[in-house]
Each structure stands twice: as C-alpha cells, then as structure tokens.
Structure 1
Amino acid sequence: MINLKGLGVAMVTPFNADMSIDFESLKKLTHYLIDNGVHYLVVQGTTGESPVLSEQEKLAVLDTVIKENAGRLPIVYGIGGNNTQQVAKQLAEFDVPGVDAILSVSPYYSKPTQEGIFQHFKTLAANSKLPIILYNVPGRTSSNMLPETTLRLAKTCENIIGIKEACGDLNQVMHLIKDKPMDFYIISGDDDLALPFINIGGDGVISVIGNGLPKAFSNMINAALNNDIITARKFHYQCFPLIYHLFSEGNPAGIKEVLKYYNITETTVRLPLMNVSATTKGKIVEILNNL
C-alpha cells in the first residue's frame, strides 16, 4: 500500500526561454523538494502544465523525476481526460517502473451525470495496473463528483485508493471522511484549506505552494497530522498570505515567480498561460522578502 499521508507536491514543469523543457531546473526542483521534507511527488498534474505538453514530453519529464528521485519518495503520475476509452487504453499500456500511483481527474467539459462519472472511473480502474487517486476539481471540470459517487467507487473498485478533493466545501469533505473505508485517502487539493482539512480527518494535501515553500508547508502538514495545532497554525499563517497571489493570475504562473525568487527555475509558461503582471509579481516578492 502506497503511503500518501502528508505533503504531496504537484510539480511544475520548468521551461527555457524558447519554451523547451528545462531539464536541469527540473532536476534541481526534484532535489529541492526531496531535501526539504515533502512526502511524495506528483508529476504532470495541471500545475505541470500537462495540457500543453506532448505525450513524449510528459514521459521525458517523468523519466527525469524518476531518475533524480532514485526511489526515495513515492511518485504519482497524472493520466486523465474526458475520453474514457482513450484514457483506459493509456492506463492499460502504461508500464513505467518507479511510478506508484495514477492521479486521474474527473471528466471535464462533457459535464457527465454522477452515473457517468462512476462508470468512467470504474472503466479506468478495470484497465489500470496501478492504484488510482481520483481528482475532483469542479472549478476546472464544471461538474462536482458528489460524496456518494466517490464512496461508491471506493467500495466497488479495489484499486481506487483515494481522492484529491478540491471542491472547496468542507461540508462535502466531512461526508466523505465520515463514511469512507478505513484505508481510503482523503487528500486536500486546496493549499488554503489543507490545515482545516486535516483537522477534520483528512490525510494531507497535494500542494502547489509546496513547490516553493516545501519546508514551511511540510512543517505545517506534519504538525497538523501530529495534532500540534499551535505549531500547525503558525506555519499556516506564515504561508497563507502568499497562497492567494499564487492563483490570482493563473497556476502555475504564480508559483513559478516563487521558484525564480529562490533560483530554482525561470518563470516561463506556455500559452495560453501568461506570466503574472508586474503588480502581482511585486506582491509575491514583497511577501517572500518578509518571510
């Protein structure tokens, strides 16, 4: 059983000025995260700009992270979409040593019914050699996977082992935690809600801010999981002012400014994303200076 408690980081994909992948910065980022206490790595989620990478580029990024990680941390890889048969085929053919689980987003754009979402993931589970973490992010998919659907999948499909829940509704999360199987992971998809999420029984977070502030955020997550609320709250409010600005003009443009500040990567993003404005950059730098 893969251990997904704690801080997972949805890694950015660094780019050179010519928009090619900056593999040296990717190596640097991998070591930066491992050396600063994160618990697992998530490759090619939305923060990795997966929609604008070719399949060959995605696998090249994954291969680099696997080699630099050298088996130290679990690795979760993103494979998802709204073409059920195509995603199922990808999963059936996916065989990369060093990957421990798959993160798969609820079907976007199509706005399926709850039964459609259930049948989608049931099909993926039947075709995947690896355990699957569901990803519910209504703000991006335009549909909300309800707790009843998630719990039905958890109890029906043995290799669906958890959910990254980014609904932004702690009431919905509590319904999940109350009725979930004992070994089913409930993982926050929102950095700003990670602390309350754990306080009501969640298992941790798959984080964006963890790219830039892995030590402070892992300290917060560890303290929260150990029921040290005073310490957890201190680190939460240390990181909290930055979180809004990371997402105010699109992810991962904001977090790449943080990584540039710490000399980990450049700020380049691929269209249709743009770099943050000078105003937002100034606010990010001001917060980091105060940290």
Structure 2
Amino acid sequence: MNSKFVGTGVALVTPFNSDLSIDHEALKNIVEFNIENGTDYLVISGTTGESVTISRQEKKDIIKTISDANNGRVPMVLGIGGNNTASIIEEIKTTDLSEMDAILSVAPYYSKPTQEGLYQHFKAISEACPIDVILYNVPGRTSKNMEPSTTVRLAKDFKNIIAVKEAGNNVAQYLQLIKDKPEDFLVISGDDDLALGVVLAGGAGVISVIGQAFPKPFSDMIRLGLQGKAKEAYNLHYKLMDVIGYIFEENNPAGIKAVFEALSLCSDKVRLPLVPASLQLKAKIERFVREFQ
C-alpha cells in the first residue's frame, strides 16, 4: 500500500489579497500551520484552491510557494484535470512534476462521458503521467458518477493509478469500492462529513477541506480511526461536525476562507463567480471558532 497517502491530506485554499492577487505570505503560513499540526500531505490546485480561475503562471507561482514552504517535509499532490483529455496530457508533459508525489485528476465535468469514456480518459492520462495518479470522482460537480466498476477496472489495469478520492457523499458506493478494490489501492474520502466512517470501514484517509483549518483535531481523528479507536475518534468528529456543515452551506471555498479569516490566517476573498460567505454564515463560523476547544 502507498502509505504516503494514508491519513489526512488537505485541499489547500488559494488566499487572495484585497485586489484578488495571490497572497503568497498567507499561503506559506497556512502550509506551515498544517505541517506543524499533523497534516500528512498537501493537495495543490484542486477545487478548493479555485483552480478554474487560476492562470497557468499563477499555478506555477503557487506550486513554488508551497514547495518552498514545505521543503520536502510532507508529500505533495498536484491537481491536473479537466474535460479536455488532450489538454490535460499537454499540461502533464509541460509541468515540472519532480517535487510532486502524485497528480489528482478530476473526472471530466460537463461533457458527461459514458463509463467507457471515463475509462479511456484516465487510461490516456495514466499512460502520459510519469508519476502516480489519484482519480477524483465528484459527481455533484461533474454531473457524472464514475461507477465503482470503472474505478476498480482502472486500478487493476494501470500500475500508477494508486487511489481514488471519492466525493459522491454515497456510503454504499464507498463500501462497494472498499470491498472490490485491489489490496494496495487506496480509497480516500473526499467528504469531510463521512471521512471517519470511511476510514473505519477500510478507507485510507481523507483529502479534506476543513482539515486545513483544524489540522490537529482533524488529523488526530483520522489517525484514531485508522487505529480502530472509534469512540475516541467520534468524540473529535462530533466537536467538528457543526463547522463541517457550515463550510459547505453556501459554496466551497468561501466557507473555509471565512474560517481562515476568523482564525486570522487569510482573507475571505474569492474570485467570481464565487462570492464571499454571507454575514449570517460568517457569524456562525466566527462563533464556532471562538468557542472551539
């Protein structure tokens, strides 16, 4: 099993200044905050990083900032995905992946391919990618579910497809994947609210949104789950449960950025078409942060 992706990964935000340029100082601070408090690996330029509104040059700058701040301490995963297979392959071939441990590639959105189309898409990516590939199934955003049979087929056919980040909020699908997967293939939760249950059922961990704001209790929860200590782990889950709901109440990453603003780690700024969290949601988040122990 690829143990470097067992535990808690975090889908890092991209902090912005008031003019919506990237706040690299805040990004460094968030990376340091996570590594110091037990986060196992970092995921760069995913949905939570507002990847669809980040330019290619900005992406390079973000990678450099995170790489420099990390300084080789924990594994790193880079988001390279989309709905144009040829464009993804071109990005893989023209990106310096020497410091990355894997790419995270989302299932094609909007196009709604068949299961065979999904298989052929990821086959092409696997064959073009010189490092490991983590599949990312998030049907709420892509409008197409990658069925467990397709994920398992890919896992069996391609050595460098080592894991899936499953984010369908579908308990039955998680269990099917855990039951049918090859022994060394990782099922990683992409649903913060289900992550502990997935781990206790045999999952490898989580790529989390909320974990980056509360890295110690969240990563402790996952660690306890991996050790089979369900009661102790659920004690932490219940403490975090309300804020997990809050951050997804309006949109991601506006919710998690409101948490970071309450923690004085970065501003709540997001790029259009997203807008910052409402005053009502911010008030709930600020109260939670103030009272959390």
- The TM tier, using the shorter chain, reads over 0.9
Is the Cα–Cα contact under 8 Å of residues 133 and 162 in structure 2 kept in the other structure? yes
Match status 1:127 vs 2:128: yes
The CA distance in 1 between the partners of 2:84 and 2:98, in whole Å, is 25
- 2:213 aligned with 1:244: no
Task: Give, in whole Å, the separation in 2 of the partners of 1:132 and 1:249.
Answer: 30
Could you tell me which residue of structure 2 aligns to residue 225 of structure 1?
Answer: 226
Residues 117-196 of structure 1 aligned to structure 2 (within 5 Å): 117-196=118-197
Post-superposition Cα deviations, 1:132-176, rounded to whole Å, max 9, x if no partner, equal 000000000000000000000000011100000001111111111
Contact 1:2 / 1:100 at 8 angstroms: preserved in 2? no
CA shift, 1:277, in A, is 0.7
Partner of 1:21: 22
Deviation at 1:213, TM superposition (A): 0.6
Query: Following TM superposition, by how much is the alpha carbon of 1:287 offset from its aligned partner in structure 2, in angstroms?
Result: 1.5
**1:2 CA displacement:** 5.9
Q: Is the 8 A contact 1:2 1:74 kept in 2?
A: no
**Matches of 1:90 and 1:96, distance apart in 2:** 10
Residue identity over aligned pairs, in percent, reads 51
SS at match of 2:288: helix
Which moved further from structure 2: 91-100 or 244-253? 91-100
| Structure 1: unaligned runs, 5 residues or longer | none
Q: Secondary structure at the match of 2:273?
A: coil
Distance in 1 separating the partners of 2:82 and 2:259: 29
Q: Secondary structure at the match of 2:211?
A: helix
* Contact 2:213/2:260 (8 A) holds in 1: yes
TM-score, length-scaled by structure 2: 0.98
Question: What does residue 91 of structure 2 align with?
Answer: 90
Aligned equivalent of 2:285: 284
For residues 237-260 of structure 1, what are the alpha-carbon distances to aligned partners after superposition, in whole Å with 9 as ceiling and x for unaligned? 010011111011111111111111
SS at match of 2:287: helix
Note the alpha carbon deviations across 1:213-243, whole angstroms, 9 max, x for none. Answer: 1111011001111111111001000100111
Quick one: which amino acid aligns to residue 232 of structure 2? T
Structure 1 match to 2:12 = 11
Q: Which runs of 4+ in 1 moved over 2 A?
A: 92-97
Q: Which residue does 2:39 correspond to in 1?
A: 38
What per-residue deviation string (whole Å, max 9, x for no partner) do you get for residues 173-210 of structure 1?
11111111111110000000001111111010000001
Matched-pair contact (CA < 8 Å) for 2:263–2:289? no
TM score, norm. by length of structure 1: 0.98
Query: Which amino acid in the other structure matches residue 199 of structure 2?
Result: I
1:198-209, aligned counterparts within 5 Å? Answer: 198-209=199-210
> Secondary structure at the residue paired with 1:191?
coil
- Root-mean-square deviation (Å): 0.9
- 1:104 deviates by 0.1
SS of equivalent to 1:192: coil
- CA distance in 2: counterparts of 1:290 and 1:70, whole angstroms: 34
The aligned amino acid for 2:226 is: L
Contact 1:260 1:267 in 2 (8 A): yes
Aligned partners of 2:268 and 2:278: how far apart in 1? 12
Aligned residue pairs: how many?
Answer: 291
Secondary structure of the structure 2 residue equivalent to 1:227: coil
Match of 2:58 in 1: 57
| Aligned equivalents of 1:124, 1:175: Cα separation in 2 | 24
Instruction: Please give the per-residue CA displacement for 1:245-276, whole angstroms capped at 9, x wherever unaligned.
Output: 10111111111111111111111111111011
Higher mean C-alpha deviation, range 88-97 or range 116-125: 88-97
